[in-house]
Chain A
């Protein structure tokens, strides 16, 4: 299967469907998911009627109906979610319903929605009633308490107070009036203050909190309320008090004066409350029953409605030919799948019982086809990493294939610890084994989903880390000693060491008694782990390995670029880009000192050749291109009146190795140059800003695709005249984007490779620190005296209390290991590997100007709702631009 090496060959076909079979055929195509539709519905119409837009397409009405149904279903879903009713998801994949079933669906959903909203409003009014009655009950109970207190006081007291306000005319006990009600606790202070001010102290307020919070029927939140009782005298106070109550949104309740009446009222309220409770619970039951019955089918309905909507969206992209009553579409299909699509179409047409066979007619075109990589669940993760950088140009070599192994390997070089590698690999293995269950469970946690999507990447990263950790001889910053160290302490006598007044000693590798002539067979000698100058020794190793691996990686990238050039038959590029770059690479490689004699001369020669190569790299190409383009222009102007002007021919890609230029050249037609400043910090450091005039300019020339035949001709001529300036800009861009990166590349390549070992170094230091801390803790706590400084094995606790300390110390160690070393360092190494891949490897040969193949597929619709809206919006946006 060569498709992952390069993207698949795509064929542009015309699809003729009769109106009866169109729906079924599109449904079948959606199930297969290998066909990308191009919107041709406006292609001819725009010539006749330039004001036509996407709202006047044929199936807009049906789409509206589908959206209405979707809305109803979403409403049902949210209501079911409120009650925590489980929506049954059996994971089955129902077929798209027939158009005639749409009316039945609509009726069902309408009915369900009405019932549900009826039940909801009923429940709300019942709850309101319930609330009022509860509040009334509280008011009555509280006022019982108030008046009971009052009765214990001698009534004369109160009367006296009030009597003194009058002019000595005694009329016996004055009748006091009161109002009782309930107010929110938060408004109580305001209420109190207002009452005091307005009534000038002549009103008397008693309050009592309601202990249980009451539920607000509207929002469902709990609100704390307070019962109050305002006592005052006189009619006009009554009006004032009532107004204040209204203002503070307190609800007043009628409260009878006599105790007996109150008791009667309380009883009445209580019975009514009970009745209400029963009615409420019945309503809730009814609602539950409704929702559970609906929830059984809800998932299936949602999928069906979405599929239907998708089909109508796609049908809108067809061109409707009135004369022959058929729908015409332009589709991209992978060449190898044409047969399969044909059989599927025939089958669907048979099912719908039509006489006209669907026709799939291959068209010749010069438009760039979309890039399609056939993936399986293993390659999916790696391909996503590359696609995040850029989508490969059509038929370009796909870095994703090599990324499957180079990425984990480079990660392993940076991460390099057996123990942590084992943790990673086991975790990823668990994810891989439980794949199906986890996919079916459909977790929403985004971080977990990201890691799950990359499970194969993590698995491979772990495996390679185990291997590199074994070679680095590092497991939780301890070493294996499998083959026996090659360093011996034979000759050094005990007395010599102790009496020499030296506390440290270096074994001499030149001495055969101290170092066997041959190195440790597999990996680093274990003696280094316990020596003080381990880092020094390993550093030089890691430097060398980084440079070697980096150069090889980049040379590999260059070779791939050569293959690309051969494939696309661009001799210029071979001569003027590959060869100079190869020499520059080779020169960089020989920086490693003293590998062999006469190296100085060789180095000098290579440097000279590199310098000569640079102008060769940069200069001839623009002029040759210019000449080529002039020739093509002359030919094109002869064809400018041709109708099927398939412009958009890619001729040159001056995409640079660094920034993101999208100089998609369409021979003057399709030019959208957006020049971004290099965010790479190397730009600013390197002062070479010659030929920078083109940089920073954003040149926007109207984009025209071949759809608008008539309109295209008009604009085409306009652009002709601005060709000269266009070329000037292009040449400037080419210069700036080639000179700078080349120089910077020479400087940056060793740096970036070296970066990868710096990571490793830091990690090693940190992990050794942690491990030392841990062993130290254990030793201290277990109070052993012997062998204090040899962390060759974890020591046994000698004291009983030591067990607990070991337990705690292990907890701390494992937390630090996993949180910092595995996750943080792992992420950091991942990021650096990714950067290495993108910048150093992909930029060597990948132009990345393709656009992804986005087939019409129900898989997205079924699994992910956002995918539906995204793809539908994507479709309609494209229409608006064109």
Chain B
């Protein structure tokens, strides 16, 4: 079970800013509550989406299954 702290903290901070900080500092206007609602729902749903993707890859049960040539290419292009 591996999870690096930095991405989690960063993403949570980012969507927290969008969903909590931004609605508070929004300037007053006729559409304020509408924008607050939009920002909050956006932040919650996007953060959740990212979190699910992250958590899904934390403990993978299978790995990528590739052709030999792909493996060699990956090794050559990405690992060196």
Contact = CB atoms under 8 A, between A and B. Distances in A.
A associates with B:
yes
Interface of A: 1-2, 4-5, 376, 379, 401-402, 404-406, 409, 413, 467-468, 471-472, 481, 484-490, 492, 494, 497-498, 502-509, 514-525, 527-528, 530-534, 536-537, 540-541, 544-545, 548-549, 552, 787-790, 792
A537 B60 CA distance: 9
Nearest to B6: A521
Contact of A537 (B62, B67, B77): B62
A858 to B, nearest CB: 23
B68 A497 contact: yes
B79 A489 contact: yes
A328 B65 CA distance: 80
A405 B37 contact: yes
A559 to B, nearest CB: 13
10 contacts: A404-B38, A413-B49, A484-B78, A488-B75, A488-B79, A509-B60, A509-B61, A518-B3, A532-B66, A541-B56
A534 B63 CA distance: 9
B56 A508 contact: no
Contacts of B34: 1, 4, 379, 401, 404
Contacts of B42: 405, 409
Contacts of A506: 62-66
Nearest to B50: A471
Interface-centre pick from B2, B11, B46, B49 (highest chain A CB count, 10 A): B49
Nearest to A379: B34
Contact of A503 (B38, B41, B68, B77): B68
Name the 4 nearest CB pairs between A and B, nearest first. A517-B2, A531-B64, A519-B57, A521-B7
Given A498-B68, A519-B2, A527-B74, A490 B30 contact: no
Contacts of B65: 504-506, 531-533
B62 to A, nearest CB: 6
Nearest to A526: B78
Nearest to B37: A401
A485 B79 CA distance: 9
B52 A508 contact: no
Interface in B11-37: 11, 30-34, 37
Contacts of B68: 497-498, 502-505
B26 to A, nearest CB: 13
A405 B38 contact: yes
A822 B65 CA distance: 30
Nearest to B10: A521
Contacts of B6: 521
Nearest to B3: A518
Contacts of A519: 2-4, 54, 57-58
Nearest to B43: A405
Nearest to B46: A467
Contacts of A544: 52, 56
Contact of B72 (A472, A497, A549): A497
B38 to A, nearest CB: 5
A520 B57 CA distance: 8
A469 to B, nearest CB: 11
B9 to A, nearest CB: 11
Nearest to A523: B53
A492 B75 CA distance: 9
B56 A540 contact: yes
Contact of A515 (B4, B60, B77): B60
Contacts of A540: 56
Contacts of A523: 50, 53
Contacts of B63: 487, 506-509, 514-515
A1 B74 contact: no
A6 B34 CA distance: 12
B48 A552 contact: yes
A508 B7 CA distance: 24
Contacts of B72: 489, 494, 497
A774 B27 CA distance: 49
A490 B74 CA distance: 10
A545 B49 contact: yes
A810 B41 CA distance: 39
A792 B66 CA distance: 14
B77 A548 contact: no
A513 to B, nearest CB: 11
Contact of A528 (B30, B61, B64, B77): B64
Nearest to B66: A531
Nearest to A788: B69
A509 B49 contact: no
A413 B4 CA distance: 25
Nearest to A467: B46
Nearest to B11: A522
Contacts of A487: 63-64
Given A5-B33, A409-B45, A533-B64, A789 B2 contact: no
Contacts of A548: 48, 52
Nearest to B30: A1
A684 to B, nearest CB: 35
A468 B49 contact: yes
Nearest to A545: B52
A402 B41 CA distance: 8
B53 A518 contact: no
B56 A505 contact: no
Given A484-B78, A548-B48, A509 B62 contact: yes
B40 to A, nearest CB: 9
